[in-house]
Amino acid sequence: MRRCSRTGCTELAVATLTYVYADSTAVVGPLATQAEPHSYDLCNAHAHRLTAPRGWELVRFEGEFAPPQPSCDDLTALAEAVREAGRVDRPVEHPPTTGTGRRGHLRVLPTPTEK
């Protein structure tokens, strides 16, 4: 799920804003299937309140913007991530158990030896 592109907004995106510079037109339509570098994802509130720059035309989708439904690709990616995490033969990194080493702000101390 993608989030609104507006700074500070954490709502889910339901619409996509694109610009057609040659025609001085801003277009707000249903959420694009993929995020594009020259488009902006917007939540419902921002999609309805958006205004175009002076001299530009704003074309807005008539109707309600619906939140995107999970696709088969989303479900497949989730299933693969769960399967990968549950693999028995997956390499697991263990912190060093002997000697002293630093991991971030924590320190690994050697196991005390019995005398």
Q: What is the dihedral of CA 44, 49, 50, 54, to 10 degrees?
A: 170
pLDDT the model gives residue 57: 94
pLDDT for 50-87, tens place per residue? 999 899 999 988 777 777 666 666 566 666 676 776 66
Q: How far apart are CA 4 and CA 35, in angstroms?
A: 11
pLDDT, one tens digit per residue, over 96-107 is 555 555 555 666
CA 67, CA 114: separation in Å to the nearest integer?
A: 63
